[in-house]
Amino acid sequence: MKTVVVVGGGITGLCTLHYLKRQAPSEEPIRYILAEKNEYLGGKMHTVHESGFIMETGADSIVARHPNVLELVKELEFESELVYNETGISYIHTNNELHAIPAGSTFGIPMSMESLQASTLISEEGKKRVLMDAEIPNNNFTKESSIGDFLEYFLGKEIVEKQIAPVLAGVYSGDLYQLSLASTLPYLVDYKNKYGSIMKGFEANREQFEKAANKKFISFKKGLSALIDRLEELLPEVEFYKNTETTSVKKKGALYEVSFSNRETVQADIVVLAVPNNIVQKVLNDPELNPNLNKFTNASALTMYLGFDLPDSILPADGTGFIVSHNSDLVCNASTWTSRKWKHTSENGNLLVRLFYKNTSPRYEELAAMTDEELTKVALEDVKLSLNIEEEPTVVNVEKWIEMMPRYDLAHKEALDALLVDLDAKYPNLYIAGCSYFGVGIGACIENGKNTADKVLKSLAAF
């Protein structure tokens, strides 16, 4: 009997087993083991229920348009549990005021003349500079170029600084000038090259963006953990080692010796490391891999939920949250008005807000050293300044994601390509997977799990 060990019980590891079980030949029994250091599965997808509120400690939703997302939900026969986001206005907080991100924009990039002219965030000179894009040829930029350099070169510094950077940085957790187009919005290069301007490219593809404009995100009636629970429920053949840290993976002839914190050791034919890069580095403990492993970088963030005994209706009409730009006295980088965006998260219709404090903040080191009580005071000041709310919260949830948010800088692709070559040569039948390497969104992780299952199947067929 062959043994497959998956290290890491997040969405990638679970989807690897889900697709593996769906496609593996039934004539030969296979032993499947999944090891997870936490007492629960899901990793960055974890839901907390308290006092009538549903709070996501990591990711708060899934991008619906990713082709693998709804496909997985259907395979799990879980469509009845789906909920979609409420649509509304997102704001940028600058000069201590909320300015609406113009309708008809994507990540703050205007997709039409109407969207550009509607912006209250940039000057008339800034708008004229955006239109110069149509006159500037692309002679140098490729998908491996910096997205910050690309956008500033064609659209101008003002709109990038005041309208685009706050939105994109909020999604990709990094400096735009260190992030490649390939790892963020690769289609912008295609639009520029084919249509002569970025805006014309958006206009030519307007229909697909309008389709995706509403109901962009999904969750589940009981939170994202419900999807994790469903995956586990449908994998009865898998041996789940929860609350079990993997301490080492060593190659022993044709097999791998996988050791755990409970001192148990398993001999595996195939190993999947669906864990963060630093854990891969730790369990393999191979100095020859470090030159490439050291090139993968991470960002940090503190996230906080505050629940109030106040009606959600006190929020600005149709608003769903804001991103903080320059010239703001707020300490947070962004805030989601969760009870407005996700009606299912507030059983009684009370106000639930989430605030994000990222390591790009000049006060981040100070914040990271604070106690939960001290952080709550900071968050309450931000709520007071942005929403004029002075009441004490009934619920507080603080999560610290220290060096846990992969950052896809310009060195990422080259490092990944080199690492995969090294692993293939030195560690056959061992595969890395997960958001440290193959995409940060949940949809990308589902797709990565599917692709990893295909690799494992080929290895099994070769025995």
Please spell the DSSP secondary structure of 193-206, one letter per residue. HHHSSHHHHHHHTH
Residue 251 shares a structural domain with residue 169:
no
pLDDT in tens, 112-122: 999 999 999 99
Q: Domain for residue 152, yes or no?
A: yes
Contacts of residue 17, Cβ cutoff 8 Å, sequence gap at least 6: 6, 32, 34, 235, 238, 453
Q: Domain for residue 37, yes or no?
A: yes
Residue 340 shares a structural domain with residue 403:
yes
Task: Please report the pLDDT score of residue 390 as a whole number.
Answer: 94
Residue 199 shares a structural domain with residue 116:
yes
Residues 12 and 7: their CA atoms lie apart, in Å, by 10
Residue 288 shares a structural domain with residue 429:
yes
Of 189, 213, 237, the one marking the end of a domain is 213
Task: Please report the pLDDT score of residue 270 as a whole number.
Answer: 98
Q: What is the DSSP letter of 243?
A: T
Task: Please report the pLDDT score of residue 215 as a whole number.
Answer: 59
Distance from chain centroid for Cα 176: 16
Residue 125 shares a structural domain with residue 165:
yes
Tell me which residue range forms the domain holding 157: 103-213
Other CB atoms closer than 10 Å to residue 119's CB: what's the count?
22
Q: Domain for residue 344, yes or no?
A: yes
Distances (CA, A) of 186 to 101, 146, 182, 194: 22, 11, 5, 13
Q: Domain for residue 92, yes or no?
A: no
Task: Please report the pLDDT score of residue 409 as a whole number.
Answer: 84
Contacts of residue 434, Cβ cutoff 8 Å, sequence gap at least 6: 8, 10, 12, 13, 273, 274, 275, 276, 445, 448
Residues 384 and 378: their CA atoms lie apart, in Å, by 10
Residue 289 shares a structural domain with residue 415:
yes
Q: Domain for residue 439, yes or no?
A: yes
Residue 232 shares a structural domain with residue 186:
no
Residues in the chain with pLDDT values less than 70: 173, 210-215
Residues 225 and 38: their CA atoms lie apart, in Å, by 14
Residues 107 and 179: their CA atoms lie apart, in Å, by 15
Find, among 414, 373, 386, the residue nearest to 330 by Cα.
386
Residue 272: give its domain's CATH number: 3.50.50.60
Distance from chain centroid for Cα 135: 35
Domain count across the chain? 3
Task: Please report the pLDDT score of residue 211 as a whole number.
Answer: 64
Of 181, 213, 245, the one marking the end of a domain is 213
Find, among 192, 213, 218, 184, the residue nearest to 106 by Cα.
213
Distances (CA, A) of 240 to 9, 88, 267, 268, 423: 9, 41, 16, 15, 26
Q: Domain for residue 69, yes or no?
A: no
Of 384, 407, 430, the one marking the end of a domain is 407
Contacts of residue 56, Cβ cutoff 8 Å, sequence gap at least 6: 45, 46, 47, 48, 219, 223, 224
Rounded to a whole number, what is the largest CA-CA distance in the chain? Answer: 70
Question: If DSSP codes are grouped into helix, strand and coil, which group holds residue 295?
Answer: coil
Residue 302 shares a structural domain with residue 399:
yes
Q: Domain for residue 72, yes or no?
A: no
Residue 145: give its domain's CATH number: 1.10.3110.10
Residue 321: give its domain's CATH number: 3.90.660.20
Residue 168 shares a structural domain with residue 261:
no
Q: Domain for residue 241, yes or no?
A: yes
DSSP 309-329: EEEGGGSPTTEEEEEE-SS--
Residues 458 and 367: their CA atoms lie apart, in Å, by 47
Find, among 319, 393, 407, 315, the residue nearest to 360 by Cα.
407
CB-based contact 274:13 (threshold 8 Å): yes
CB-based contact 160:326 (threshold 8 Å): no
Q: In sequence order, what are the beta bridge partners of 83?
A: 219
Residues 168 and 163: their CA atoms lie apart, in Å, by 9
Residue 250 shares a structural domain with residue 267:
yes
Contacts of residue 2, Cβ cutoff 8 Å, sequence gap at least 6: 28, 30, 31, 269, 270, 460, 463
Residue 199 shares a structural domain with residue 263:
no
DSSP 72-114: HHHHTT-GGGEEEPPP-EEEEEETTEEEEPPTTEETTEE-SHH
Task: Please report the pLDDT score of residue 178 as a whole number.
Answer: 87
Residue 131 shares a structural domain with residue 209:
yes
Q: Which two tokens stand for residue 202?
A: 């958006």
